[in-house]
Structure 1
């Protein structure tokens, strides 16, 4: 439960919508296009070197310039992509809040305020797109310069070797080297796209492997008739919602006899709902124990525990069935 308390709904929505779509579709397409274009570039270079051996010497300095521009672009594009993912989560969060609370927003006449809030979030996300396009223009200018040098070197080689290489072969080489300029730009962009899309894979992997999970659904065998009487004992119960936060329940001791009906009265924030949260193990105890008919609920599985207890929730949107069916299932 602490995960849902600290994680905005928009961030979760972003993970299971945009990030999943990116990993399933955009990432695989970027991989395919990168390797296909790289193979075409290598084939063109092999063709040129087969006719003009000195072209291999010119590839060294140009390759260093290419690596510099590509590495600079990739590092900046990666950070811009992360920034854009954060801003997109903000858009999802504000939109979800507006949709879920539309009745309250209309009741208080705050439509303009929430519309402005959503528009501001969209504008902030679009600013990341603008940075992406600006970064691509920066790369295009530099790769065009490198490509121009490639064409210039190839043209010099074709002219100087005009007596040893047929004009048809020289024309073939020149036609291919002109297409390589666009291929180089596309290859770098696809490489950066692969690296950027791996951010989505990283975020989904984190959700799948590094989040704290609830206790197991089943642990020890629970007798089918439990709980027979409904006797509940809170023994020095201590509970905090997350590590680092103060205790909400501080040494609570309570004994509810079988068949007894009690009411817990207190101001907002006194811990009334917290008592029910501990009984259903929505949040694990920091200390103490709770027993129901002599069985410590911390030692049984969550499904065994929650399927044997009933609750009428505060939020009516979570209320399933009639009041009678929830009171006496």
Structure 2
């Protein structure tokens, strides 16, 4: 239950809805418990009026609610049993309508409140996800993240809405019923309530089992969701390697674990709910048996009306008490889900704005000073005491083998990671002194692993730029060498590219990604192997456009290919996190047995 304390801020936010909801529950149950009193009185009244054996109807004010007492005072002035019965029928209908009206208001406050909390909580989780650093996403699967923001939040909503409604309803209906039952007959009430301690013990024991089982179910569901998500995302690989049966086997294994956990919980609940119903039925039998004996022997002022009144009270308690099991299950499942949500919400992002961070306009003078970067999970040292000075307006190329640390440079410059040693500065300001949003807004980045949203080509190019015009989007596409191809699509720029841009070729996705970077028109651009999927002709077209576009801009192009048509001010060759060669294109070709020269000769032969 301690995990659910995280919801207190939402309850405070919607305190008026919650308060009115509780008030409406109380009113609804108040009018509900008046019906048994009136029914019991009428039965005794008719029984006595028709001169049947039995106790006379009580007019003791301590036995009835004040409204029923006022009605009884009016009944005593009436003549004819049928008139009394007709009046009471009308009053019972009015009480039922009042109960229903306040039930409606109750759901309009408490249930609507739960939906508002669900909305706020999903936004909170999503916002927190976006603030977490890249290392978090390497350690956690997408399926688990999705399950927490959907399934777990939905289970928590069952607590903030139905569970609270049932608990308040249970407390008020039991409170009203037991109070008036004691007023009517304390001895009979004690007998009727005898099964309740047994019920409380069952609820306590079973709740512990439900809580543990709920945690297992949510973990199994996360594994199942992850399995499915990975299969859908990698369907082309699965089909190309004919691994459908293998993936189905993995999914079946995870599904079987979830099935066993869910069935286990269902078995617990299957035993739980009938047990509660049995105990409620036992209370009804005790009411009839003991009340009947009192009536037969003429003791305790018990008449048929009192027995009927108690039977109605017990039946009135049937749903609220039987809902204890359902409510307990909701609360335990919600606690298990909130615990899972808190695990992520309590994680503090490693990359955050420092207290002294501020918005700084950037022009592109970049210095890597003695930077050392080692990835925590793998222990791989990507950069070792790395030094590099890029002057504003320079265009440099970073070459190197796979794993030489090229991409790590871009990740550090964007502050996806902070190095363990050294520091990076732009225009004399340490990266930590620049607000993250300002830093990333002023740098355009084309990642090695191109990602397009399941949206139109137009929206993918204009992504994040609210004020761009259609002409600007088209011009960015021209600079990226993809405009003509887009126009050949039936829907042109309104073509929906599908999940991760699946409907486009690899080269088209890369060029749309380049257009998305160009449209920001920043002073600093990072291109990470962004032309690996295009042919030589398209490459020449794009690099020709880039030569013009990159004038007076700082550009870092990370690649393993040599672009003869791109004019670089300097070229750096990395190996195992250190610079092993640097210079212009002509200077590097003069290095005997150099990596760059060898790559150039190999590329010319190819």
Give the TM interval when normalised to the shorter protein.
0.7 to 0.9
1:101 aligns with 2:234: yes
1:267-318: CA deviation from partner (whole Å, max 9, x where unpaired): 4x34332222112110112221112343322221112222233332111224
**SS of corresponding position for 1:95:** helix
1:204 aligns with 2:341: yes
Rounded Cα–Cα distance in structure 1 between residues aligned with 2:350 and 2:283: 56
1:68-89: CA deviation from partner (whole Å, max 9, x where unpaired): 1111111111111111111111
1:187-243: CA deviation from partner (whole Å, max 9, x where unpaired): 232133123223333443444444326322992242x3x325x4x33222122333x
Partner of 1:227: 363
Partner of 1:67: 200
Partner of 1:127: 260
Rounded Cα–Cα distance in structure 1 between residues aligned with 2:149 and 2:197: 40
**SS of corresponding position for 1:238:** strand
Q: Does structure 2 retain, via aligned residues, the 8 Å contact 1:237–1:249?
A: no
Rounded Cα–Cα distance in structure 2 between residues aligned with 1:31 and 1:309: 49
Partner of 2:294: 161
Rounded Cα–Cα distance in structure 2 between residues aligned with 1:59 and 1:30: 26
Distance 1:183 1:255, change over 3 A: closer
Q: Does structure 1 retain, via aligned residues, the 8 Å contact 2:155–2:333?
A: no
Q: Does structure 1 retain, via aligned residues, the 8 Å contact 2:166–2:320?
A: no
Partner of 2:577: none
Q: Does structure 2 retain, via aligned residues, the 8 Å contact 1:38–1:187?
A: no
Distance 1:158 1:227, change over 3 A: same
1:271 aligns with 2:405: yes
**SS of corresponding position for 1:17:** helix
Q: Could you tell which deviates more after superposition, 295-304 or 67-76?
A: 295-304
Q: TM-score, normalised by structure 1?
A: 0.85
Partner of 2:104: none
Greater gyration radius: 2
* Distance apart, 1:61 and its partner CA: 5.6
For residues 229-308 of structure 1, the aligned pairs below 5 Å read 230=365, 232-242=366-376, 246=379, 248-249=381-382, 251-258=384-391, 259=394, 261-267=396-402, 269-308=403-442
Partner of 2:313: 176
Partner of 1:189: 326
* Distance apart, 1:58 and its partner CA: 4.2
Rounded Cα–Cα distance in structure 2 between residues aligned with 1:175 and 1:100: 58
Rounded Cα–Cα distance in structure 1 between residues aligned with 2:419 and 2:173: 62
1:83-121: CA deviation from partner (whole Å, max 9, x where unpaired): 111111112111111111111111111122223322332
* Distance apart, 1:182 and its partner CA: 4.7
Q: TM-score, normalised by structure 2?
A: 0.48
Give the number of equivalent residue pairs: 323
Which stretches in structure 2 are left out of the alignment for 5+ residues? 1-133, 453-459, 462-476, 481-513, 519-524, 526-545, 551-606
For residues 21-36 of structure 1, the aligned pairs below 5 Å read 21-24=154-157, 27-36=160-169
Distance 1:247 1:170, change over 3 A: same
Distance 1:187 1:161, change over 3 A: same
Rounded Cα–Cα distance in structure 1 between residues aligned with 2:310 and 2:200: 24
Q: Does structure 1 retain, via aligned residues, the 8 Å contact 2:370–2:386?
A: yes
Which stretches in structure 1 are left out of the alignment for 5+ residues? none
Pairwise CA RMSD: 2.9
Partner of 1:44: 177
Q: Does structure 1 retain, via aligned residues, the 8 Å contact 2:163–2:330?
A: yes
* Distance apart, 1:4 and its partner CA: 0.5
Rounded Cα–Cα distance in structure 2 between residues aligned with 1:221 and 1:189: 53
